[in-house]
Amino acid sequence: MKVVIFGGGGFIGQRLARELLTEESLDQGKLTRLTLVDIAFPRDNFNDSRIEYIEADFSERAVIEKILKSNPTLIFHLAAVVSGEAEKNFDLGMKINFQASLQMLELCRSLKVHPRIVFASSCAVFGGDVSKVILDETGPKPQSSYGTQKAMVELLMNDYSRRGFVDARSLRLPTIAIRPGKPNTATSSFVSSIIREPLNGKKATFPVPLDTEVWIHSPKSVVQNFIHAANIDSSDLGTDRIINLPGLNTSIKEMISSLEQLTNPEVVSLITQKPDKFLESIVLTWPPRFDTKRARELGFKTDSSAEEIIGLYIEEEGIT
Amino acid sequence: MKVVIFGGGGFIGQRLARELLTEESLDQGKLTRLTLVDIAFPRDNFNDSRIEYIEADFSERAVIEKILKSNPTLIFHLAAVVSGEAEKNFDLGMKINFQASLQMLELCRSLKVHPRIVFASSCAVFGGDVSKVILDETGPKPQSSYGTQKAMVELLMNDYSRRGFVDARSLRLPTIAIRPGKPNTATSSFVSSIIREPLNGKKATFPVPLDTEVWIHSPKSVVQNFIHAANIDSSDLGTDRIINLPGLNTSIKEMISSLEQLTNPEVVSLITQKPDKFLESIVLTWPPRFDTKRARELGFKTDSSAEEIIGLYIEEEGIT
């Protein structure tokens, strides 16, 4: 069967592609074609004839239409302008995060293809009083345009599924950590940087108070959970296709002390606090505590500790 | 100051216009111009030089742009395709309820006018388990395209307000009862019909079980609450501009017995049950119980009983 990853050039998209190519993990059928769509790709390191790269903007109607006409069974929709960028460039965020997603859904409807869609939403749909525990029934209160756009697309995914145009499920992703590579313009970028950069012998800063709590999820768990979401029967979801993923509640302080336990005081001495009003204004509105009852009942995976997540990163990156 | 009512030809729009013209009820200033925009109007019965009628579709960009260029201080946005119609005609609902609202907000942004906007959202954004009490923090789970479109616009209203493009507040309206006139294609139309039609000596039916609970609000209260919403300082609202209006929980059974108490058994003998699967599939997902703490604290008005609401209708319509 044909599978598409919109945003297939990004870090999670690439890891997801690798997993799909190496494991027969999809219940819907055998993978025969994996189409990755993104504005840029890392060099091809898959060496797999099933892979197809399409370099395009997610908002390019003709490209998306052609892909949908090939009738993919499954679509992972990870294409997005990240939170910081969507806040600074309102038009770009609305265009890619919202309008292009609506366009993709409308094309599914008009072409009468009915793909299963796994949509990468975000816990940034929540905001405000961070002392409260977010329940499955808690409503989105985004404090960013990124969160607003994601929440709107979740509503569309639900309605287009209810009407039978597509068969979607929206996963609200915690902050993904630890991301390899370089810092990006996501407002949560520092959560990875404070671990990754010191491990590379580089300095790193965090823009919020040391005891700030965060809600994180490892790259390994999120990829497993994307595949798990693709394998859930529609009948087990009903009309509500939105799922708060089971992240891990930890704090900047706990992450740093876990890093120290896994390495040494010299490494953590590279980490300092550097307040940033813009980042604070967004990050400090993200609630770090969730009760993800529905996700647990549906069998989604979680991480057990900050130490485990950091240890996993050290292992995956081959850091000695 | 200039005030605009999008949807000013409808029942609530007309009552709101009358109230604004007869009472100096707006805190922002003295009303000098009241522009009513709708696809059709009842005959002019205002006889007031401050009134301007614009017969246009809410999606007509040039018309809306011209109105916004006149820099209105306050906009009441009541323009909508009703629930039943939006469910049957998906494209029309998306066009008027969602895209035209987004277009209006985008025009406010590009023209750099910053009107206060009171947006008529709906309790139809909720759906699903009707046994639960809806709290201020409960998330929308629309079971209709109408509810989906309203919930999306609420998110836009919040984000455009947070960014300073407009100063909006979204009121989630309960079912408005008792509406005069004729039944319409709103899925809640029967809630008014079962009272109005028998009082006119006509038969009426309800499509749901007799003990079905509903969440209703009188036309008088909703108009008062629209004006109250327009008078609330932004600082008292913060970033969350969405308010569940304080409706009244009652049941079809209680409404009918209240009508009987106010009239006689002959009148209620005109009411019969006539099951309708389409209406049931939407109406029975609307939760009838709310705890509207925030609205109460903000000073919004409520109705005290079904009997009061029906008595008010009888009085207003001059039924003897």
All residues of chain A having their beta carbon less than 8 Å from the beta carbon of residue B140 are 139, 155
Q: Is B268 helix (H, G, I), strand (E, B) or coil?
A: helix
Q: What is the enclosing helix (H) or strand (E) of A36?
A: strand A33-38
- At residue B110, the pLDDT reads 98
Phi-psi region of B297 (alpha: psi -120 to 50; beta: other; left: phi over 0): alpha
Selecting from 3.40.50.720, 3.40.630.30, 3.10.20.90, 3.30.1950.10, what CATH number does the domain B2-174+218-244 have? Answer: 3.40.50.720
**In terms of pTM, does the model score above 0.90?**
yes
Interface contact A139-B137, CB threshold 8 A: yes
Indicate if the pLDDT at residue A57 is higher than 90.
Answer: yes
Closest CA to B101 of A104, A152, A60, A142: A152
pLDDT in tens, B84-124: 899 999 999 999 999 999 999 999 999 999 999 999 999 99
Interface contact A156-B152, CB threshold 8 A: yes
More confident residue, A46 or A117: A117
A123 vs B: CB within 8 A: no
Ranges for all domains in chain A classified under CATH 3.90.25.10: 189-215+248-288+304-316
- At residue B184, the pLDDT reads 84
How many residues are present in chain B?
320
d(CA A149, CA A155): 10
| Active-site residue flag, B313 | no
Edge-to-edge strands of the sheet including B167-173? B51-55, B33-38, B2-6, B74-77, B116-122, B167-173, B242-244
Q: What is the enclosing helix (H) or strand (E) of A168?
A: strand A167-173
Q: Which of B132, B142, B240 sits opposite A128 (nearest CB)?
A: B240
Question: What are the backbone angles phi and psi of residue A261, rounded to the nearest 5°?
Answer: -65, -35
Average pLDDT of chain A, as a whole number: 95
All residues of chain B having their beta carbon less than 8 Å from the beta carbon of residue A156 are 148, 152
Interface contact A152-B148, CB threshold 8 A: no
Average pLDDT of chain B, as a whole number: 95
Q: Which of A137, A138, A145 sits opposite B159 (nearest CB)?
A: A145
Q: How many CB pairs (< 8 A) connect A and B?
A: 60
Phi-psi region of B71 (alpha: psi -120 to 50; beta: other; left: phi over 0): left
B141 vs A: CB within 8 A: yes
User: Quick one: closest CA in B to A133, which residue?
Assistant: B137
Indicate if the pLDDT at residue A44 is higher than 80.
Answer: no
Structure tokens at B45: 């019965």
- At residue A111, the pLDDT reads 98
Q: Which of B53, B146, B160, B313 is catalytic?
A: B146
- At residue B291, the pLDDT reads 97
Structure tokens at A201: 């012998």
How many residues are present in chain A?
320
Q: Which of A139, A142, A156 sits opposite B159 (nearest CB)?
A: A142
Interface contact A155-B141, CB threshold 8 A: no
- Indicate which of A87, A102, A149, A155 best probes the interface with B, i.e. most B CBs within 10 Å of its own CB: A155
Interface contact A137-B138, CB threshold 8 A: yes
Phi-psi region of A29 (alpha: psi -120 to 50; beta: other; left: phi over 0): left
| 8 Å CB contact between A17 and A33 | no
Structure tokens at B1: 């100051």
Interface contact A239-B156, CB threshold 8 A: no
Amino acid at B35: T
Is the domain covering A2-174+217-244 a CATH 3.40.50.2300 domain? no
Return the minimum-mean-pLDDT range out of A150-154, A173-177, B181-185: B181-185
- At residue A295, the pLDDT reads 98
Interface contact B137-A132, CB threshold 8 A: yes
Place of tokens 């006409």: A69
All residues of chain B having their beta carbon less than 8 Å from the beta carbon of residue A143 are 162, 239
Could you list the beta-strand ranges (E) of chain B: 2-6, 33-38, 51-55, 74-77, 116-122, 167-173, 175-176, 204-206, 213-217, 242-244, 248-251, 271-273
d(CA B237, CA B294): 10
Q: Which residues sit opposite A234 in a β-bridge?
A: none
| 8 Å CB contact between A248 and A306 | yes
ipTM score of complex: 0.95
- At residue B43, the pLDDT reads 84
Interface contact A163-B90, CB threshold 8 A: yes
Indicate if the pLDDT at residue B44 is higher than 80.
Answer: no
Closest CA to A205 of A213, A195, A215, A214: A195
Mean pLDDT (whole number) for A232-255? 97
Q: Which residues contact B153 (CB under 8 A, 6 or more apart)?
A: B97, B98, B101, B102, B119, B121, B170
All residues of chain B having their beta carbon less than 8 Å from the beta carbon of residue A127 are 239
- At residue B260, the pLDDT reads 96
Ranges for all domains in chain A classified under CATH 3.40.50.720: 2-174+217-244
pLDDT in tens, B183-242: 888 888 999 999 999 999 999 999 999 999 999 999 999 999 999 999 999 999 999 999
Interface contact B155-A162, CB threshold 8 A: no
B239 vs A: CB within 8 A: yes
Q: Which residues contact A307 (CB under 8 A, 6 or more apart)?
A: A258, A261, A262
Closest CA to B286 of B178, B180, B190: B190
- At residue B284, the pLDDT reads 87
d(CA A9, CA A290): 30
| Count of CB atoms situated within 10 Å of the CB of B180 | 13
All residues of chain A having their beta carbon less than 8 Å from the beta carbon of residue B137 are 132, 138-139, 141
Interface contact B137-A140, CB threshold 8 A: no
| 8 Å CB contact between B145 and B187 | no
All residues of chain B having their beta carbon less than 8 Å from the beta carbon of residue A142 are 155, 158-159
All residues of chain B having their beta carbon less than 8 Å from the beta carbon of residue A152 are 152, 155-156
pLDDT in tens, A64-88: 999 999 999 999 999 999 988 999 9
pLDDT in tens, B119-133: 999 999 998 878 899
Closest CA to A176 of A7, A2, A4: A7
Mean pLDDT (whole number) for A211-236? 97
> A269: burial class by Cβ within 10 Å (0-12, 13-18, 19+)?
exposed
Closest CA to B246 of B219, B211, B222, B212: B222
> Which CATH superfamily hosts domain A189-215+248-288+304-316?
UDP-galactose 4-epimerase, domain 1 (3.90.25.10)
User: Quick one: closest CA in B to A140, which residue?
Assistant: B139
